[in-house]
C-alpha cells in the first residue's frame, strides 16, 4: 500500500483534528427497536442478505496451499472452503450427494474427503472420485455427483461466496469501483495468516456491527487501553462507498502532519483505516496487522446471537523477532479491545435491544458510520426507519 494512498481523505481527517470535530451526518437518527426485533425482518435478512450477498468467508491466506480447507457453519448450512489441487479456491455445500452426511470437517490439508457414512469420496475440487458399491447405482453418472458448488470468486485476498447455488456473483458491481480499488491496493493476497479468534455474544447482529462504526465509545469503553491512548476519540472521517463505507479513525499523531509536505505523508502515522463491507465485515488496519472482523448472526432457534470472528493477517516477517513482537502486540491489543471491553458491553446492550420498553435508539450526527450502516441495511430490506 502506497504510504500516501489515503491523502485525499487524510486532508479532511487532519482538518477535523485541528478543529477538534468530526464528520457529521445531516441529522440525528432514531432507530425503532423493532428494526432489531422484527421476526419477519429476520427471515427476510437471512434469505435476502445472508444467503444472497457475496460474503468474504475466508482469507486467501487461510487456504494458501493446494488442498488447504476449512469447514464453516453459516446460517444453518455447512460450507466447505477449499483450494483445489489446481490452485483454485472454491466453495461447496458440505453435504454428500448420496444421503447428505458431511464429507469434510474442521480444517487442514486434504486431497480427498471421504464421507463418514458410506465412504463416497470427493477430491479437493469437489469431484466425486470414488463411489463404493457403484453397481447399486447403475443410472448415476459419477461426473454429475460432485459436491454442490457455490458461486465464488477470489479477489483482494478474500474468497467471496454467495451461499445460494446457481446465483451470479457480480462481485465488481457489488463492491463498486472505490472499494475494489482499495482492496486491490491493499494486496491482501500477499499477506500471511497469523490466527483467527472468535466468540459469540447474545445480541442482534445489526446492533453488534454498529459498534464498529464509531469512536464515540473509545474514551469510556476503551479508556484504559490502546484505542483511547492512540486515537482521538469521537472523531472519524467518513466516505460512503455505495453500500459500504470507508472511515479514517485519526491517531493523536495526525496533527504532526501539518508540518510535513503532503507528498511525504505516511498514512500509518496519522490514521487507522476502517472499512465496513456490507453486510457484516469490518476491515481494520492498524500498523503491522490487518484485522478482518466478521459480525454475522447465528440463527439458532429463539436465541439471538452474533458470532464475532477476527482474522489477523500481516505483511511483516514473523520469523524476525521484531516482526513477531510487533504483530503479536498489535493483534493482542486489538483482540483485548474487542473481547475484554466491547464484548461485555455488547452482551448488556443485547438485553436492551431485546427487552427495553423504549421505542427508539438515538444515533447522533457524530455517529455517521453507524447511521450509514443502519440506513443501508434497512434500505436493502425495504424497512422504513422513520415509520
Ligand atoms: S451419505 Fe455420504 S456416502 Fe452415504
Ligand atoms: Fe470498541
For 333, how many CA atoms within 13 A lie in the half-sphere containing its CB?
A: 21
Instruction: Write down the pLDDT at residue 71.
Output: 98
pLDDT in tens, 351-363: 999 999 999 999 9
| Ligand in nearest proximity to the CA of 274 | 2
> What's the maximum distance between 2 C-alpha atoms anywhere in the chain?
79
CA of 212 to the centre of ligand 2 (A): 7
Beta bridge partners of 159: 58, 154
Instruction: Write down the pLDDT at residue 287.
Output: 85
Number of H helices, E strands in the chain: 11, 19
**CA-to-CA separations, 259 to 11, 231, 263, in angstroms, rounded:** 13, 20, 12
Instruction: Write down the pLDDT at residue 33.
Output: 97
CA of 299 to the centre of ligand 1 (A): 26
| Ligand in nearest proximity to the CA of 101 | 1
End-to-end Cα distance, the chain: 44
Instruction: Write down the pLDDT at residue 99.
Output: 98
Instruction: Write down the pLDDT at residue 42.
Output: 94
* pTM beyond cutoff 0.95: yes
Cα–Cα dist 152/60, whole Å: 12
Give the confidence band of 1 by pLDDT, cuts at 50, 70, 90. confident
Nearest CA to ligand 1 atom 4: 118
For 259, how many CA atoms within 13 A lie in the half-sphere containing its CB?
A: 3
Give span(s): CATH 3.90.380.10, the chain: 7-53+173-381
Q: Are strands 271-277 and 281-284 parallel, antiparallel or unpaired?
A: antiparallel
Give span(s): CATH 2.102.10.10, the chain: 56-169
Q: Are strands 360-363 and 107-109 parallel, antiparallel or unpaired?
A: unpaired
pLDDT in tens, 42-82: 999 999 999 999 999 999 999 999 999 999 999 999 999 99
Residue 303 in this model has a pLDDT that exceeds 90: no
CA of 136 to the centre of ligand 1 (A): 13
Does ligand 1 come within 6 angstroms of the Cβ of 137? no
* Residue 337 CB partners (closer than 8 Å, separation 6+): 222, 225, 226, 227
CATH code matching the domain that covers 56-169, chosen among 2.102.10.10, 3.20.20.140, 3.30.70.270, 3.40.50.720: 2.102.10.10
- Decide: 241 and 176 in contact? Cβ < 8 Å: yes
Does ligand 1 come within 6 angstroms of the Cβ of 292? no
Instruction: Write down the pLDDT at residue 269.
Output: 92
CATH of segment(s) 7-53+173-381:
3.90.380.10
For cell 469512536, the residue is 215
**228 or 21: which carries more pLDDT confidence?**
21
In 187-296, alpha helices (H): 205-210, 218-221, 226-230, 267-270
pLDDT in tens, 177-204: 999 999 999 999 999 999 999 999 999 9
CA of 98 to the centre of ligand 1 (A): 5
Nearest CA to ligand 1 atom 3: 118
Beta bridge partners of 49: none
Instruction: Write down the pLDDT at residue 286.
Output: 87
Amino acid at each position: 500500500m502506497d504510504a500516501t494512498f489515503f491523502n485525499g481523505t487524510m486532508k479532511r481527517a487532519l482538518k477535523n483534528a485541528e478543529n477538534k470535530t468530526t464528520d457529521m451526518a445531516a441529522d440525528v437518527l432514531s432507530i425503532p427497536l423493532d428494526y432489531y426485533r422484527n421476526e419477519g425482518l429476520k427471515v427476510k435478512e437471512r434469505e435476502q442478505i445472508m444467503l444472497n450477498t457475496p460474503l468474504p468467508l475466508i482469507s486467501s491466506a487461510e487456504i494458501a496451499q493446494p488442498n488447504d480447507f476449512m469447514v464453516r457453519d453459516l446460517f444453518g448450512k455447512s460450507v466447505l472452503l477449499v483450494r483445489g489441487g489446481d490452485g483454485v479456491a472454491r466453495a461447496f455445500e458440505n453435504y454428500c450427494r448420496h444421503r447428505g452426511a458431511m464429507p469434510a470437517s474442521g480444517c487442514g490439508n486434504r486431497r480427498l474427503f471421504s464421507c463418514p457414512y458410506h465412504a463416497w469420496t470427493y477430491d479437493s475440487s469437489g469431484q466425486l472420485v470414488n463411489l463404493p458399491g457403484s453397481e447399486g447405482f447403475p443410472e448415476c453418472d459419477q461426473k454429475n455427483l460432485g459436491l454442490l458448488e457455490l458461486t465464488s470468486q477470489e479477489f483482494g485476498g478474500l474468497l467471496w461466496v454467495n451461499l445460494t447455488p446457481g446465483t451470479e456473483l457480480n462481485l465488481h458491481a457489488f463492491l463498486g469501483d472505490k472499494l475494489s480499488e482499495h482492496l486491490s491496493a491493499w494486496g491482501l493476497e500477499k499477506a500471511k495468516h497469523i490466527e483467527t479468534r472468535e466468540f459469540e455474544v447474545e445480541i442482534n447482529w445489526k446492533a453488534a456491527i454498529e459498534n464498529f462504526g464509531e469512536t464515540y465509545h473509545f474514551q469510556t469503553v476503551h479508556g484504559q487501553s490502546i484505542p483511547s491512548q492512540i486515537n482521538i476519540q469521537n472523531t472519524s472521517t467518513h466516505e460512503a462507498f455505495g453500500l459500504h463505507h470507508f472511515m479514517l479513525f485519526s491517531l493523536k499523531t495526525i496533527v504532526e502532519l501539518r508540518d510535513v509536505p503532503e507528498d511525504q505523508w505516511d498514512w500509518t502515522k496519522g490514521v487507522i483505516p476502517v472499512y465496513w463491507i456490507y453486510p457484516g465485515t469490518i476491515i481494520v488496519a492498524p500498523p503491522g496487522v490487518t484485522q478482518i472482523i466478521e459480525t454475522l448472526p447465528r440463527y439458532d432457534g429463539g436465541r439471538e446471537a452474533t458470532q464475532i470472528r477476527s482474522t489477523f493477517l500481516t505483511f511483516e516477517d514473523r520469523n524476525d523477532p521484531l516482526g513477531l513482537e510487533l504483530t503479536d502486540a498489535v493483534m493482542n491489543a486489538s483482540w483485548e479491545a474487542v473481547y475484554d471491553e466491547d464484548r461485555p458491553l455488547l452482551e448488556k446492550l443485547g438485553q436492551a435491544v431485546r427487552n427495553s420498553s423504549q421505542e427508539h435508539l438515538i444515533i447522533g450526527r457524530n455517529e455517521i458510520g453507524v447511521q450509514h450502516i443502519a440506513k443501508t441495511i434497512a434500505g436493502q430490506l425495504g424497512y422504513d426507519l422513520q415509520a
